[in-house]
Amino acid sequence: MTDLLLSRRLRHAALAAGLASLLLGGSAYASPQLMSEVDARGAQQLRYANFAQWVSDFRRFAAAQGISEATLASALDGVRYRDRVIELDRYQPEFVRPIWEYLDSAASDTRINTGRERLAEHRQTALEMQQRFGVPAEIIVAIWGIESNYGSNFGDFSTIEALATLAYDGRRHEFARGELLAALRIIDQGDISAERMKGSWAGAMGHTQFIPSSFEAYAVDGDGDGHRDIWGSIPDVMASTANYLAKAGWQAGQPWGVEVVLPASFDYTQTERRSSAEWASQGVRAQKGGELPGFESAAIVVPAGANGPAFLTGPNFRAILRYNNATSYALAVATLADKIAGREGIQQAWPRDEAMLTRDDVKELQQRLNEAGYSVGGADGVMGPNTREGLRAYQRDQGLTPDAFATQSLLERLRQAR
């Protein structure tokens, strides 16, 4: 952005601020709404002007890191601050979505059927990547389905504009700054043009939503044209996704896990991994019968507590978590893949009648646990490991099943104890 344009924008911001001052001093009856609008316009103009200066400074930094002037011009000339990106970055939903509602959508009949169609359409490519990387074709297709609904919704934000906005004004600006530099390197290497580099508001790109640093580390040229194109080449999409999982520790020939039935006496405070044989010795058995998978290191996952389904998960489940570190995500990928391949899905019922907590409810839960002597750290409204550990301890002391599943009934119990 030229110094002349920057100067003009700064003057516009000053004029807007001056107009507000004039209105305040010149009329005792200036509308508060008008004043608010003038203040907002002035602040917005100043934000845009400061963004332009930030981009100018970053451009010099990127040039010093070896990014060519041609790439800098194509990517940063005319780059815009995107208000919508900041709105989405700062948005926090009031309600925490129950995992069963998420799975209903993520592994819906429509998505299963479309996944089967896409697998049939690209079967040769998917099987080639399965052979090359050891990752089953249905897992590759399932991630494609979860991440972008098979390419129908991978976002239309300019990755450069999204990351520049986040680097300037986002909650994780240093992270976004590093990703922006990585995006410029990708353009500089000739894999994609700045114009075609599209994705989500958060900077995740293409059919399977790689952030730029992940693209640099894991993207693969699957069609042999010399470029890594996760926006337009399905062979590149599949190869890159499979390579990511392989590098994350995927073990060929092993399942992601298995649905299990836990004994009535099961100790839910166990959070460490054990071998399948050790879990079996505690009475854990496969829901469908037969032997448990032969995992050397496996975890028991109960995402909806003792009254919901339970799973024995192995290294491949952890590899999916490397893609997105949320149990609900990994379970969605696993479930969708099973259904695409014609296997049965989850058999045990979810506790759909349980009333879930809002974000404010979780904050209150955390506050009350702290007050009761179960230190869980700050009340941020997020059910992290510390909150779950504190909740398990409270449940155990109350003679309840210590499954760390937060519900309205548990919160009400804490309220009444006060």
Active site residues: 147
Distance of CA 101 to the CA centre of its chain: 17
Residue whose pair of structure tokens reads 């296997």 in the numeric block: 343
Cα–Cα separations (whole angstroms), residue 240 to 140, 185, 195, 311 = 10, 18, 21, 28
How far is Cα 97 from Cα 66, in angstroms, rounded to an integer? 44
For 219-326, where are the alpha helices, taking DSSP H only? 234-247, 276-281, 315-323
* Tokens standing for residue 118: 């896409």
CB atoms within 10 A of CB 345: 13
What value, to the nearest 5°, has the Cα angle with vertex 82 and ends 79 and 87? Answer: 160
Q: Do you know the residue count of the chain?
A: 418
How far is Cα 104 from Cα 220, in angstroms, rounded to an integer? 32
How far is Cα 227 from Cα 250, in angstroms, rounded to an integer? 25
* Tokens standing for residue 101: 């509602």
CA-based nearest residue to 256, from 245, 267, 266, 265: 245
